[in-house]
Amino acid sequence: MTHSPSPWQRLRQESRVSFTLALPIAVGQLASMAMSVVDSLLAGRHGPITLAAVAVGSAVWSLAMLICIGLMMAIPPTVSQLNGAGRRSEIGPIWRQALWLAAAVGLLLLGFLRWSPQLLVWMRIAAEVQAPAGEFLRAVSWGAPGLALFFATRYLSEGLSWTQPTLVFGIAALLLLIPVGYALLFGFGPIPAFGAAGLGYATALVMWLEFIAFVLYLHRSAHFRDLGLLSRFEWPDFAAIGQLLKLGIPMGIAIFMEGSLFVATALFIGRLGAVDVAAHQIALNVASALFMIPLGVALATTVRVGHAVGAGDVSAVRWAMRAGLALVLVTQTVSALLLVFGGGLIGRWYTDDAAIAGLAATLMVYAAIFQYPDGIQALSGGALRGLKDTTVPAIITVFAYWAVGLSAGVYLGLHLGLRAPGFWLGLTAGLGVASLLLYLRFRRAVRKLEATL
């Protein structure tokens, strides 16, 4: 006689599955994020102008990355639903169409990045920074197609619940960037010194190598052998690509709006002086790194929910969300405690300036407050992507981040004179509204799904 597990036992089982999926994604995301840190550290050794140029160029490059990531995020829910429904024979054809989409997106981003030095002129970036920043952007632009193709390949693997390659290739790319970036920045043997452009070329080269290595892995791995991923050539199928865009465009808008919110906040804080700007950058850097953990859980939840939908199992959809919520509550509690009790020490790691370190520690306390809403909004968004519900969530995020978050930040920070802490309170309000509305949207979507099955 078999006994069904208790709700607590089921939650532990489900959480273990989600954790196993999420951990490699989170570490891989951290490794990808650390590539910009490596660029900054190397640039700082070259000189302050190079550091400023790479910082400006990386900001523009990051916006291009956000668009690319958002559009390619259509792949995991599509693949996971096909896998859950036992329709694995359809995965290879949709991935080949995703490669066409990725190539097109990559070429468009390449064109944008090669034009973007003109954007620096319009933004009135300091003249001595404009030239090397433009060189960095023109150099890194060659990596845009490789970046898009890499994400198309990576998200295929994650959509099939195989996340270890994300970790391995993410760390490998980070380790490779260090010597290649150093050689092209400073020169090495017969390699000339390219300065800021060298870091752009290094990043572009690593992006292409990461994609090529991932494709070779997919071709040789037994996990993907039955899919026939590279078994044939197919011309673009605009109907299939249109379905991917129908999912991906709202995701791209949502992710871009979230990322640009932080850019806009930084620009407003820039009016307040160097101390506020530097402290904001430190606190944001730490909060962004910690966000990779709930983001990993959210991406894993997308896959689990998509698989359950494909299998027609509404109960599994709910349990995937419960497991993700349990993990997020744990991870965000740890993050909040770290920010509250370790903020002072972390601030001193970044700078010896007591005023900047002190304000950064204060801002990290505000960051601790929004850890829960930030984790829940990421998780809810991931679960909704698994349901292929993307348009309304995109509208919710635009409203929450810009109409609520930025407006509240500007009012509190500038008009009430709370300065940088006021902006962080605004971010907290925006994330709080997003977490509530997205969670309610998920509950409604599950009830709707249940009624149709």
What's residue 1's pLDDT?
46
Structure-token pair, residue 148: 């898009």
Query: Quick one: which of 337, 301, 395, 261 has its CA closest to 73?
Result: 301
Are 201 and 146 within 8 A, CB to CB?
Answer: no
What's residue 330's pLDDT?
94
Beta bridge partners of 191: 188
What's residue 377's pLDDT?
92
Beta bridge partners of 188: 191
Mean pLDDT by 10 residues, the chain (453 residues): 72 88 86 79 77 76 82 90 88 93 94 86 74 89 94 92 88 93 88 88 95 92 85 88 90 80 74 75 81 88 90 91 94 94 85 82 90 93 91 92 91 88 90 94 91 76
| Residue 291 CA, distance from chain mean position | 9
Structure-token pair, residue 71: 């559009």
Q: What is the mean pLDDT of the chain?
A: 87
Report pTM.
0.85
Q: What is the C-alpha to C-alpha distance for residues 173 and 101, in angstroms, rounded to an integer?
A: 24
Report pLDDT digits (tens) over 425-448.
998 999 999 999 999 999 999 999
What's residue 223's pLDDT?
84
| Residue 443 CA, distance from chain mean position | 24
- By CB atoms closer than 10 A (0-12, 13-18, 19+), residue 448 is exposed
Query: Quick one: which of 40, 63, 62 has its CA closest to 53?
Result: 40
Report pLDDT digits (tens) over 168-223.
999 999 999 999 999 998 888 888 888 889 999 999 999 999 999 999 998 888 88
Q: What is the C-alpha to C-alpha distance for residues 109 and 61, in angstroms, rounded to an integer?
A: 9
